[in-house]
Structure 1
Amino acid sequence: MSRTAEIARAVGVCAESVRRWCRVWEKDGASALRRRASAGCPPKVDDSRVEAVGTALGRGAQAHGFEAGLWTLECVGEAVARVTGVVLSRASVWRLLTGRVGWSLQRPERRAVERDESEIARWVAHEWPRIKKGR
């Protein structure tokens, strides 16, 4: 087994990556192998504003004038625009919420309006044991 293959297996990459790293190191030195910042546009909402967004969202949707009391991406986008002055796409709002604010998708439980908790408790306590016993 070649030295390159041994290094590749130890590091958990393919041998071609090790060969490429060696070429870069020989040509430009160790500094060329350092991790660089990712390419692409910087986020529209900077880190100082993310905390303000999280605080504003924490007050709830109704505090921002939304009737439903639940956050949707559209509602969050409007709130972000009010707080920061930055208009974001739905995808950017999602990335902001999940990646930077630390929220996750939550769906409310669906329960019938007619649901009677006391009747359910009575049924479980009295009827269910009778039905189970009759088997």
Structure 2
Amino acid sequence: MDDTTMEGGNPSIMSHVSIGTNRFAEATAFYDSALAVLGARRVLDLPTVVAYGRAFPEFWVHPPHNGEEASVGNGTHFAFLADSQKQVDAFYSAALAAGATPEGEPGPRPAYGEAYYGCFVRDPDGHKVEAMH
């Protein structure tokens, strides 16, 4: 093992992402639909916390732990990995059908790399969300 990988060979530096919501039921319904097309499901389901993933809790949705209102980070977004361009397209369609606001239709993003293909939406709380392949 070298210094760039964790035990077991995982090159990722991320364990999970957590977002706050002011509309828990609406947010979880949105992510149930939008993430299903990427092969993610609820892997943790508690009364006020839901975590999604393909194998482990990678993406968490819950009201802020401090009890204050959730707010959207200016300049932040998170991206979900898709297995194909078709899956990016399906994510975009599912997200819009579940109440997302469009922020960038699926398509090539040459500024991010020659093979980069992605889309952007805003979830019900206004968080900027991307799916990319």
TM-score class, shorter-chain normalisation, is under 0.3
TM-score by length of 2: 0.21
| Greater RCO, CA 8 A, separation 6+ | 2
- TM-score of the two chains, using structure 1 as the length reference: 0.21
Q: Which has the higher helix share?
A: 1
Q: If each structure's strand is expressed as a fraction of its own residues, which one has the higher value? A: 2
